[in-house]
Chain A
Amino acid sequence: MGFINDTHMSQYIPPTLFHCVTGTWTLAAGAVAGTIAKHVAAADESSVITIPILLPSNSSTLKGAYLKSIEIDFEILIAACDALAAVVNKVARGADGAVAVVAAQTFTYDSGHDGASERIDVDQHKMTLTLSTPIWLDNDEYVLVEITADKAATTTMDFLGAVANFDLRL
């Protein structure tokens, strides 16, 4: 019963929920007082940061959350990265006794990050990934955004959070 179709919904995802592998990661104050960050210390390595997209889902067709884009706020400090790229994965959960199935989703970077050199400079970044085909989230699946950051020896990074943009239909 009821009907809501709001095309302006967004969900903040804090850095404390980010899944960070390879590197020395700490919770730290952000560069701007009063902000928070997941900070990776300097090291010449490739770190993988996976952002779980925390949205409601729905077992009914064409209901729940219709994921359209994800914005990621981060800072590259001291020195540029060697490379940085994102992948958007939809994970179909496995039944008991079966593995999950991962499907990469097609997306585009915003105009400020569609060149490789634009994603690695020392700066504050708001990188928007727009799905070429938005997706309704079924109850048996979820979305993970995976960022691989190939850092130089002196590069540090602060991940401030992310925002998922979606339609909500209930």
Chain B
Amino acid sequence: MGYLHDTHMSQYIPPTAFHCVTGTYTDAAGAVAGTIAKHRAAAASTGVINIPIILPSNSSDLKGAYLKSVEVDYECLLAAATSITASMNKVTRGADGAVAVVAAVAVTQDLTAATDAADEDQHKLTVTLTTPVWIDNDAEYLLVITAVCGGTVTLDLLGAVANFTLRL
């Protein structure tokens, strides 16, 4: 029973929840004292950071969390990256004995991948789902950041915030 429909919900996702592949990543203090980061050391390679969207889901249609956008806070340090590109995957969990099924989710990012998102600076990258989604209990969402890096740039990944409507 009950009815709740809040369109202003957000959820912080700390960098310790990020899944980082290709490159050397360490927990480190952020550039601003008192903040934390997942730090990527300089390496001319393409780092892939999966951000699990930690939101409640619901097995009823049109209930639970309605994911609208995700904001990612990070810094490119020492040099610009070649590009920072966001994409999103919906992972439909497999039944016992079956693999998961991955489907790309259409998104747009507010900062241009090869310029504004990649320059040596602090970044707040907003990734908006073209069609927001209700999260089913059998699905999970991963925001994928593909960071094409030159040999000098280091990255500090500070965290992310998912924006959603909650209906219960």
**Residues B101-153 near A (CB distance < 8 A):** 111, 116, 121-125
- Contacting residues, chain B, for A140 (C-beta < 8 A): 161
Check if B12 sits within 8 Å of A99, measured CB to CB. no
- 10 additional contacts (CB under 8 A) given A2-B3, A17-B14, A100-B35: A1-B5, A64-B9, A97-B122, A100-B32, A100-B158, A101-B32, A139-B163, A142-B161, A170-B4, A170-B6
- Contacting residues, chain A, for B125 (C-beta < 8 A): 96
- Contacting residues, chain B, for A89 (C-beta < 8 A): 34-35
Segment at the B interface, from A29-37, A53-61, A73-81, A124-132: A53-61
Check if A54 sits within 8 Å of B161, measured CB to CB. no
Check if A100 sits within 8 Å of B30, measured CB to CB. yes
Known contacts A93-B73, A142-B159; A20 and B4 CB within 8 A of each other? no
**Residues B50-74 near A (CB distance < 8 A):** 54, 71, 73
- Contacting residues, chain A, for B31 (C-beta < 8 A): 99
Check if B12 sits within 8 Å of A142, measured CB to CB. yes
CB nearest to A138 among chain B residues = B10
Check if A93 sits within 8 Å of B6, measured CB to CB. no
Question: Which 6 interchain pairs have the tightest Cβ spacing?
Answer: A52-B14, A2-B4, A102-B34, A139-B10, A142-B12, A96-B124
Contact residue range for chain A?
Answer: 35 or more
CB nearest to B121 among chain A residues = A97
- Contacting residues, chain A, for B12 (C-beta < 8 A): 52-55, 57, 142
A41 within 8 A of B: no
Check if B54 sits within 8 Å of A87, measured CB to CB. no
Contact residue range for chain B?
Answer: 35 or more
Check if A96 sits within 8 Å of B111, measured CB to CB. yes
**Residues A78-100 near B (CB distance < 8 A):** 87, 89, 91, 93-100
Check if B27 sits within 8 Å of A19, measured CB to CB. yes
Known contacts A54-B54, A97-B121, A144-B36; A21 and B28 CB within 8 A of each other? yes
A50 within 8 A of B: yes
A121 within 8 A of B: no
**Partner-B contacts on A (CB < 8 A):** 1-4, 16-21, 48, 50, 52-60, 63-64, 87, 89, 91, 93-102, 104, 139-140, 142, 144, 146, 170
CB nearest to B124 among chain A residues = A96
- Contacting residues, chain A, for B17 (C-beta < 8 A): 17
Which one, A53, A87, A93, contacts B124 given CB within 8 A? Answer: A93
CB nearest to B161 among chain A residues = A139
0 or 1 for each of B1-21: is its CB under 8 Å from A? (1 = yes):
011111011111011110000
B33 within 8 A of A: yes
B166 within 8 A of A: yes
Check if B34 sits within 8 Å of A144, measured CB to CB. yes
- Contacting residues, chain A, for B78 (C-beta < 8 A): none
CB nearest to B110 among chain A residues = A96
A53 CB → nearest B CB, Å: 8
Check if B29 sits within 8 Å of A2, measured CB to CB. no
